[in-house]
Amino acid sequence: MTIQQIYDLGIKLGIENDPRGKKRVEQLLEKAKKEYKELSEKQKKYFDKETLSNPYSDSRILFGDPKKEIKKIFAGIDADTPEILLVDRLNQKGKEIDLLISHHPNGPALASLHDVMDLQTESYAKVGVPINVMDSLMSERQSIVMRRIHPSNHSAPVDAARLLDIPLMALHTIWDNIGDHFMAEYLNKKEFETVGEILDYLMEIPEYQEAKKGKNGPEIVSGGPKSKVGKIAVFFTGGTNPSKEAYVELAKAGVGTLIDMHIPEDGLNELKKMHVNVINAGHMASDSIGANFFLDELEKNGIEVISGGGLIRVKRNKK
Ligand SMILES: [Fe+2]
Ligand SMILES: [Fe+2]
C-alpha cells in the first residue's frame, strides 16, 4: 500500500464507524463542497481542500510523498520529536520503517483539533441532550480548545520528521471512531444491573487486561461497583473532552452511567453531584482499541507493524 492508500483506508473506516452515521457524514461533506464553491478567491487561498473529502481535521498526512510504497510502519499513540528520533534510531539499527503513524496529532492536525468536536454535539443529542443546548456549549468549548492550542509549538515534530525524512501521518478521530463504534456495539450485547458488572465485562477486553497489569486498568471514578447502571453513554471520540456544563446536561438527560477514556476533574465533580456513575476506561488502552482494528487491516494488506509509544498492540486477525 502507498501512504495515500493507507490514508484513504483511514478516511473510509473513520466514516463507516462515525457515531453520526455514514449518511450524515456524507451530507456534511456535500455541504462543505457547496460552501467552498461560494468562497471568494482570497478565501480559497487558505482553504484546506482536504476537508472536502476527509471530514476529520485532526487526521492528515503530515509529511511524506503520498505515492511512497509502504512495507513497514511504526504505530504509536503519540508522535512527538522523541518518537521521530526513535524511528530514526531504529532505522539506524536496520529496522527499515517507512512510515510513522500516530494517534494524537501534530502540526495542522492539532491546530484544527477543535473542528472535529462538532461530532460530539450529535453524539450527546443521541443520548437525549437537546441539540441546541449542546451546540451552544460545544461552540464555546471549541473556541477555548482552539485558543489553548493556538500558541503551542505544534509544528516542531513535523519539522523533525521532515529533517530526518521520516513520513508522518496522524489518525486521530479516525481511530477514535473505530474504538467508539467497537465499544458501543460491545456494550450493547449485554444487559447490566450494576456498574461492577460493566467493569468486569470491560476487563474481558485484552487491551484493558494489559493496562491493568501496568496498574492502569479501567476504574470506577464516580459511584461504586454496586451502583445501579441506568442509561449508558459511551464517548470515545470527538477530539477532546467537552466542558463541565456538558456533563451536567448529560445528567439532566437521564444518563446513569458514563464510560469515557478520561474525564476532567471539574466535569467529574458535576457528575458526582448529580449521582451519575463514571467509568474511566483508561486513555492509552482505549486509544489502542481503535488503533488495533486499523493496524489489523494494514497487516491484512501485507504491511508489517511495529508498535510503541504507549500503544498496547492486540491482534485480532485470525492466522
Ligand atoms: Fe483517542
Ligand atoms: Fe487520546
pLDDT digits (tens, 9 = 90+) for 247-258: 999 999 999 999
CA of 175 to the centre of ligand 2 (A): 10
What is the whole-number distance in angstroms between the Cα of residue 284 and the centre of ligand 2?
7
Q: Is residue 28 part of a domain?
A: yes
Q: Helix 3-16 crosses helix 283-300 at what angle (to 10 degrees)?
A: 120
Task: Check pLDDT > 60 for residue 132.
Answer: yes
- 168 and 30 share one domain: yes
Ligand nearest the Cα of residue 290 is 1
pLDDT digits (tens, 9 = 90+) for 145-204: 899 999 999 999 999 999 999 999 999 999 999 999 999 999 999 999 999 999 999 999
| Residue 221 shares a structural domain with residue 300 | no
Percent of the chain at pLDDT above 90? 94
**How many whole angstroms from 261 Cα to the centroid of ligand 2?**
8
| CA 178 to centroid of ligand 1, rounded, Å | 10
Residue 184 and residue 43 in one domain: no
**Domain-embedded: residue 76:** yes
Residues within 5 A (CB) of ion ligand 2: 287
Q: Say which ligand is closest to the CA of 175.
A: 1
Whether 160 and 193 map to the same domain: the answer is no
Structural domain includes residue 96: yes
Tell me what the mean pLDDT of segment 219-248 comes to: 95
**Closest ligand (CA of 287):** 1
Ligand closest to 173 (CA) is 1
Q: Which domain, by its residues, includes 244?
A: 180-282
Nearest to 62 by CA among 13, 10, 138, 25: 10
In a domain, 164, yes or no: yes
Count, residues in the chain: 319
Question: What number is the average pLDDT over the span 24-38?
Answer: 95
DSSP one-letter string for the chain: -BHHHHHHHHHHHHHHT-TT-HHHHHHHHHHHHHHHHTS-HHHHTT--GGGGT---TTEEEEES-TT-B-SEEEEES--SHHHHHHHHHHHHTT----EEEESS--HHHHHTHHHHTHHHHHHHHHTT--HHHHHHHHHHHHHHHHHHHTTS-TTHHHHHHHHHT--EEEESHHHHHHHHHHHHHHHHT---SBHHHHHHHHTTSHHHHHHHHTT---EEEES-TTSB--EEEEE--SSS---HHHHHHHHHTTEEEEEES---HHHHHHHHHTT-EEEE--HHHHHHHHHHHHHHHHHHTT-EEEEETT---------
Residues 290 and 267 in one domain: no
Q: Is residue 125 part of a domain?
A: yes
pLDDT at 319 over 60: no
Q: Do 280 and 211 form a contact (C-beta atoms < 8 A)? A: no
pLDDT of res. 300: 97
* CB of 175 closer than 8 Å to CB of 182: no
Into how many domains does the chain fold?
2
148 & 240 share domain: no
Q: How far is the CA of 193 from the centre of ligand 2 (A)?
A: 29
110 CA distance to ligand 2 middle (Å): 12
Whether residue 316 is contained in a domain is answered as no
Expressed in angstroms and rounded, the spacing between residue 237 Cα and the centre of ligand 2 is: 9
Give me ligand 2 centre to Cα 219, in Å: 17
70-109 per-position pLDDT tens digit: 999 999 999 999 999 999 999 999 999 999 999 999 999 9
Residue 263 alpha carbon to ligand 1 centre in Å: 13
**Co-location of 29 and 150 in the same domain:** yes
pLDDT band at 260 (very low <50, low <70, confident <90, very high): very high
Give residue 173 CA to ligand 2 midpoint distance, Å.
9
* % of the chain exceeding 70 in pLDDT: 100
Query: CA nearest 101: which of 1, 242, 234, 235?
Result: 1
Query: What is residue 247's predicted lDDT score, i.e. its pLDDT?
Result: 95
Measure 232 CA to ligand 2 centroid, in angstroms.
Answer: 21
The Å distance, Cα 37 to ligand 2 centre, comes to: 34
The confidence band for 317, taking pLDDT boundaries of 50, 70 and 90, is confident
Closest CA to 260 of 287, 278, 238, 239: 278
User: What mean pLDDT comes out for the span 235-264?
Assistant: 94
Q: Closest-lying ligand to the alpha carbon of 171? A: 1
**Distance of CA 157 from the midpoint of ligand 1 (Å):** 19
Bridge partners, residue 76, by sequence: 102, 308
Residue 119: inside a domain: yes
Distance 230 CA to ligand 1 centre (A): 26
Region of 243 on the Ramachandran plot (φ > 0 left; ψ -120 to 50 alpha; else beta)? beta
> What's the CATH code of the domain at 225?
3.40.1390.30
- Domain assignment of residue 152, yes or no: yes
Residue 116: band (very low, low, confident or very high) from pLDDT cuts 50, 70, 90: confident
Residues 124 and 28 in one domain: yes
- C-alpha–C-alpha distance, residues 114 and 309, integer Å: 24
- Same domain, yes or no: 69 and 162: yes
For residues 255 and 276, give the distance between their C-alpha atoms in angstroms, rounded to a whole number.
7
147, 201: one domain: no
Close Cβ partners of 186 (under 8 Å, ≥ 6 residues apart): 205
In angstroms, the CA 85 to CA 140 distance is 37
Whether 20 and 122 have beta carbons less than 8 Å apart is answered as yes
Residues 297 and 270 in one domain: no
User: Is there a single domain that holds both residue 296 and residue 171?
Assistant: yes
Give me ligand 2 centre to Cα 83, in Å: 16
Q: What is the pLDDT of residue 84?
A: 97
d(CA 62, CA 60): 6
